[in-house]
């Protein structure tokens, strides 16, 4: 146990950019909906969103809304970030419920970093970042 609570990076320090293939993901996040890129022809999920489906090479995409739940696939407890020497963030790879094999690289937040374990159930929350965007991050499932 420690008295540290894992947070995202401060929102004003986080910038993203988009292109036509990734923008639907970020627009949905702005509305606090977690979606993933799915091939509209064969149904294969892929993240990050890319121009072609790697299974069937289709360029047709759909963006189903997910449950927002996931499990921690792996993670690291990072101490310090350039310009933020005292911050502790948990960088994590999350298996997204309903979108396998797609994963999201994100943060586990609102938890003592010592209590994060592989396989734990987490749910999305959205954290404001620069330019009005929101970042999906994950906290322990509470219910």
Residue with tokens 């960088």: 91
Kindly indicate which of the ranges 28-36, 56-64, 82-90 contains the residues binding another protein, using the contact rule CB under 8 A: 82-90
> Are the C-beta atoms of 66 and 36 separated by less than 8 Å?
yes
Nearer to another protein, 64 or 101 (CB): 101
Would you count residue 17 as binding another protein (CB under 8 A)?
yes
Would you count residue 62 as binding another protein (CB under 8 A)?
no
Minimum distance from residue 143 beta carbon to another protein (Å): 25
Kindly indicate which of the ranges 13-21, 28-36, 62-70 contains the residues binding another protein, using the contact rule CB under 8 A: 13-21
How far is C-alpha 62 from the chain's CA centre?
18
Q: Which of 91, 98, 128, 140 binds another protein (CB under 8 A)?
A: 91
> Are the C-beta atoms of 119 and 71 separated by less than 8 Å?
yes
Residue with tokens 């990734």: 22
Would you count residue 59 as binding another protein (CB under 8 A)?
no
Would you count residue 100 as binding another protein (CB under 8 A)?
no
Contacts of 86 (CB under 8 A, 6+ apart): 80
Kindly indicate which of the ranges 12-20, 28-36, 56-64 contains the residues binding another protein, using the contact rule CB under 8 A: 12-20
Cis check: omega of the bond before 47, within 30 degrees of 0: no
> Are the C-beta atoms of 53 and 39 separated by less than 8 Å?
yes
Binding track, positions 113-132, relative to another protein; x by CB under 8 A: x----x----------x---
């Amino acid at each position: 146990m420690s008295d540290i609570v894992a947070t995202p990076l401060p929102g004003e320090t986080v910038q993203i950019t988009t292109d036509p293939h990734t923008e639907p993901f970020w627009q949905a996040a702005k509305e606090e909906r977690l979606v993933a890129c799915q091939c509209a022809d064969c149904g294969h999920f892929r993240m990050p969103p890319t121009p072609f489906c790697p299974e069937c090479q289709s360029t047709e995409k759909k963006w189903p809304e997910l449950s927002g739940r996931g499990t921690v696939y792996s993670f690291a407890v990072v101490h310090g970030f350039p310009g933020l020497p005292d911050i502790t963030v948990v960088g994590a790879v999350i298996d997204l419920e309903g979108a396998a094999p797609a994963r999201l690289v994100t943060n586990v937040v609102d938890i003592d970093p010592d209590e994060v374990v592989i396989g734990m159930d987490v749910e999305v929350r959205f954290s404001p970042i620069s330019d009005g965007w929101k970042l999906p991050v994950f906290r322990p499932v509470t219910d």
